[in-house]
């Protein structure tokens, strides 16, 4: 399976990405996690990535492509990928599409998880009080949601026009979201879906 989870911060794409990877055998590739790992490494690049993430700004496209491309290529070669948080800008989407077309591993579907702004904000603040990520504080959360709307939002019409976007209501308990995603995917003419588990 080759899937992209497209969603604002707090919609649950990390949770759903892990579940879909376990269900399908494809690899879960979380852009934020890979970039945070890179940010923990010593050196100027790590410090630069950490600074963007702490502010809630997107990491520049070229850095993201350098970090993510090897992971996507490797996953595509062994069972597919569930992309979580990449592509997140139109330039990333066109670069990823060109690479995937060259390798013959283009996206089969984009699952768009949506929820009202106040639900997203409440979830992120709850997570902040439990685990505490540097970017889970009120003003940075507001900024991340604004960046999402301006920069990632245009990917919804982009993938809709390409006929591969399915929208799922993320304002439900995690199990219901998973069930809705699996039902939506089962309705698509995808190859190599684990259909036995859907029915």
Residues that bind ligand ADP (CB under 6 A): 9, 31-32, 35, 52-53, 56-59, 64, 85-86, 88, 92, 135, 144
Q: Tell me 2's DSSP state.
A: E
Which CB sits closer to ligand ADP, 58 or 111?
58
Shortest Å, Cβ 134 to ligand ADP: 10
Tell me the residue nearest to ligand ADP as measured from the CB.
32
Residue 106: which of 84, 88, 80 has the closest Cα? 80
Q: Report, in Å, the least distance between residue 192 CB and ligand ADP.
A: 25
Supply the minimum distance, in Å, between the C-beta of residue 70 and ligand ADP.
15
- Of 135 and 180, nearer to ligand ADP (C-beta) is 135
Question: In terms of residues, how long is the chain?
Answer: 199
Between 34 and 193, name the residue whose CB sits nearer to ligand ADP.
Answer: 34
Cα distance between residue 181 and residue 111, in whole Å: 7
Q: Which residue lies nearer to ligand ADP by CB, 26 or 193?
A: 26
d(CA 114, CA 190) in angstroms, rounded, equals 23
Residue (of 108, 119, 137) closest to 7 by Cα position:
119
How is residue 150 written in tokens? Answer: 């301006």
Beta-ladder partners of 112: 6, 167
- Least distance CB 52 / ligand ADP (angstroms): 5
């Amino acid at each position: 399976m080759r899937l992209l989870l497209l969603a604002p911060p707090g919609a649950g794409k990390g949770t759903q990405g892990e579940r879909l990877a376990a269900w399908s055998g494809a690899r879960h590739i979380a852009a934020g996690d890979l970039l945070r790992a890179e940010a923990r490494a010593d050196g100027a690049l790590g410090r630069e990535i950490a600074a963007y993430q702490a502010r809630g700004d997107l990491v520049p496209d070229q850095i993201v492509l350098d970090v993510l491309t090897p992971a996507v290529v490797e996953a595509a070669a062994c069972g597919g990928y569930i992309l979580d948080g990449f592509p997140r800008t139109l330039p990333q989407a066109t670069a990823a599409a060109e690479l995937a077309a060259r390798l013959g591993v283009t996206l089969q579907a984009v699952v768009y998880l949506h929820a009202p702004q106040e639900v997203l904000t409440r979830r992120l603040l709850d997570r902040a009080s439990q685990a505490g990520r540097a970017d889970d504080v009120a003003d940075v959360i507001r900024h991340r949601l604004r960046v999402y709307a301006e920069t990632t939002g245009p990917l919804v019409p982009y993938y809709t026009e390409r006929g591969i976007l399915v929208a799922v209501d993320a304002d439900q308990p995690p199990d219901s979201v998973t069930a809705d995603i699996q039902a939506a995917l089962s309705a698509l003419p995808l190859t190599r879906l684990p259909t036995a588990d859907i029915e």
